[in-house]
Amino acid sequence: MTSEVALLGIRHHGPGSARAVAAALAQWRPDAVLIEGPAEADAVVHLAAGKDLVPPVALLAHAVDDPSRAAFWPYAEFSPEWVAVRHAVDHDLPVHFIDLPAGYAFAPAAGEQALDRADDQAGEAAEERPADPLALLAEAAGHDDPERWWEDVVEHRAPGTDALAPFAAVAEAMAALRAEGLGESRRDELREAHMRQRIRAARRAGHRRIAVVCGAFHVPALAAMPTVAHDRALLAGLPKKVRADITWIPWTHRRLSQAAGYGAGVQSPGWYHHLFSTEGDPVPRWLTRAAELLRAEDHPVSSAHVIEAVRLAETLAALRGRPLAGLTETLDAVRAVLCEGSDVALELVRDRLVVGDALGEVPEGAPVVPLQRDLTRLQRSLRLRPEAAPRDLDLDLRKDTDAARSRLLHRLRLLGVEWGVPARSSVNSTGTFRESWRLCWQPEFAVRIAEAAQWGTTVEEAAVGKAVGTARAAVELAELTGLVETCLLAGLSGALPAVMRVLADCAALDTDVAHLAGALPALVRALRYGDVRGTDHGALAGAAAGLAERVCVGLPPACVGLDADGAAAMRARIDEVHGAIALLGPDAAAQQVGEAGEAGDTGEAGEAAGTEGLPDRWAAALRSLARREPVGPPATGVPGLLRGRAVRLLLDDGRLDSEEVGRRLRLVLSTANAPADAAGWVEGFLTGGGALLLHDPRLLALLDEWLGGVGAEVFTDVLPLLRRTFAGLEAGVRTTIGGRVAAGPLDAAPAAPESARALDPDRADAALPVLAVLLGVRPRIPRQRTGRNT
């Protein structure tokens, strides 16, 4: 160390290093503090002066012209750099970040290394060096685990009388490594040249006691100052710097623990925070917190358990030759004593205490894009606090606040901010007035919000712009109808006209029935949201009716000659369209006509009226599909899977009776038909439920007779289809069918019970009002009968 500059070599995110830095700064009393970090951070470091910037936080830098090119520098309370920042602002000292500006990392020639550069500066192993300096030092000391060695010699060591002595020892060890050329890279040379230039600038500014906080690996290069010309020559090879913005954003301990993406690879941030913030022996207090956590989760843990766990952790440390019990010994004690050997309970302790869900805070004055400021305003007004821990949220869309929350979450999803993800409700409900979400805030959402700022300055404006832009770039009809549904869910009435125009143009040009069938369900679902959300969906009815008409016309020929995979995909489309057309039935159409008539819009009324005959036209399409049996080569007909599905849908709708279904089944199962085609027909017919085989034993008898007559040479071919078909039936139905077949014969229907034959009409009428309420229909007034009491 020189008489003017104290080089404090640290390990990033190390609590022992953080304590050592605090002690060294208190002893050295510098008049300026220089910190390894992006030079642009000088503009926002003053925000640390108040109490509103609460770690864990991160510096976020991004290119102004392309916010997707971004990098993070995370800091926790136990990060040495954060300790240096706090010392400087608390003592009103100049503080500067001296690493290469982030703008160089975003330049086209080096842009792909931006995240790697930030990760390395934050202490991550983003770029593998030829050798790990810590591993080499640990090996020289006779240790095979560099992490444990560093904990023993640094993290668990309390500062001595000379707070600068540990840094001198670390600098000497690193100098020995670098003298052998171990661990150096071209990128490190550029960064170190820039750091030296900033140290020279601090000297020129008149500072005489300068403290430099940097990674220990860089200390030898900063101590041996080459000439200014040498460093200028190195930096001359840098690409042109890109203009970049920088700010503070909240970070989480969980993100610090992740080695991939924007994590910092700190495996135990919760434990490190405890080590840094606890005075005295940290193990008893940490085990007490573990006991409190386990008791809160109904695990029987007493004070005696804690005492025994402390003894075990200390004993294990002594047996292993460690100066203090570390995380390994502490977790071994937790598993053996507090968790009684249970890895499940131990995983709870790892998740909540070793890692944790701490989420930092940033002051209102931190620079943000206008879109972020609007989102913060909405979060406060809707009482939706961003939290790192996942939580469930149930919304009742009949309430104004919940409806506004739903719109916000849908708009953010459209912008690529997956703060909320739709989840299964804990409350059983099939109505459209209820939504359930799984909320979990991630730090990198700050980048996605910056990226989305190109679409607008408010959440609603940005979502509208993104929806219109997505619609114009869409190439598939299903993507557009899904976008329409999203716009309605998000309440983006400003985007709907433009999206609907693109949808109409795309639908007019698309002749693929599979595309039309895939697009219709989302459009029909969107029609259901008007009642609860108050959206105007009159224009959607005409578009939905037009798509449905084209599907009805084009479906039968589109199903000819499909292979097995194509038939399976088309069957799923047919089921979806069947449900969609049921929603577009006469009742829905009448409602659309009434609404349009009240508004005086006869055009919309005419469009809605077009849906009145859709169920009949759809039924006609299904009948045509069911009749197209193979004649000659298989490519000339519709696969049995689709024909059987069409018959089943017609039966369920009451458009075919059991006699006709039996006749069709006999034809399909005749010897003139190929067994594979017949098996496919049966699969399509029974998909969705096989209870009808129990209600109509004749169908079961036909199926049993056909199966018994299948020849051995083709039985193995149809067996997988039949196994898949019957595996999809309810367990109770399969058991009952097996019992019926075993009991035989199957050609006679079972006698109806006496109670079914002696029906009491008056008692049946008494149940009609209750059934009407359950089904949501208008109750029928029971007929009055004479001579009987009701």
Q: Which residue has the higher pLDDT, 111 or 440?
A: 440
Is the per-residue pLDDT at 633 higher than 60? no
**Average pLDDT, rounded, for the chain:** 81
CA distance readout (Å), 65 to 341, 451, 466: 55, 10, 18
Tokens of 557: 């020929």
pLDDT in tens, 81-140: 999 999 999 999 999 999 999 999 888 754 444 334 434 443 433 334 445 677 777 777
Residue 716 makes CB contacts below 8 A (sequence gap 6+) with: none
Is the per-residue pLDDT at 788 higher than 50? no
Q: Contacts by 563-568 with C-beta closer than 8 Å and gap 24+?
A: 564/639, 564/641, 567/639, 567/641, 567/642, 567/680, 568/641
pLDDT in tens, 399-433: 999 999 999 999 999 999 999 999 876 655 555 67
Dihedral of CA atoms 753, 754, 758, 763 in degrees, nearest 10, equals -70
CA dist 685 and 622 (Å) reads 13
CA dist 438 and 289 (Å) reads 28
Is the per-residue pLDDT at 645 higher than 80? yes
Note the pLDDT of residue 112: 42
Report the 10 Å Cβ neighbour count for 55. Answer: 23
Note the pLDDT of residue 651: 85
Note the pLDDT of residue 310: 96
- DSSP H or E stretch at residue 175: helix 165-179
Q: Which residue has the higher pLDDT, 51 or 285?
A: 285
Range in 354-368, 546-560, 652-666, 688-702 the model is least confident about: 688-702
Note the pLDDT of residue 324: 85
Report residue 459's pLDDT band, with 50, 70 and 90 as the boundaries: very high
For residue 497, say if its preceding peptide bond is cis, omega within 30 degrees of 0: no
- Residue in the block written with tokens 């069409």: 646
Is the per-residue pLDDT at 3 higher than 60? no
Report residue 44's pLDDT band, with 50, 70 and 90 as the boundaries: very high
Q: For the residues 519-523, what does the mean pLDDT come to?
A: 80
Note the pLDDT of residue 708: 75
If you average pLDDT over each of 140-144, 227-231, 501-505, 704-708, which comes out highest? 227-231
Give yes or no for a contact between 552 and 617, defined as CB atoms under 8 angstroms apart.
Answer: yes
Is the per-residue pLDDT at 790 higher than 50? no
Range in 203-207, 219-223, 585-589, 668-672 the model is least confident about: 585-589
Q: Which residue has the higher pLDDT, 560 or 262?
A: 560
Q: Helices marked H in 528-627 — which ranges?
A: 530-533, 538-558, 564-583, 586-598, 602-609, 614-627
CA dist 288 and 728 (Å) reads 51
- Sign of dihedral through CA atoms 99, 104, 109, 111? positive
Is the per-residue pLDDT at 262 higher than 50? no
Is the per-residue pLDDT at 460 higher than 90? yes
Is the per-residue pLDDT at 744 higher than 90? no
Note the pLDDT of residue 741: 76
Q: Any bridge partners for residue 142, and if so which?
A: none
CA dist 388 and 672 (Å) reads 65
Instruction: Determine the 3-state secondary structure of 201 from DSSP.
Output: helix
Cα–Cα nearest to 154, from 134, 136, 140: 134
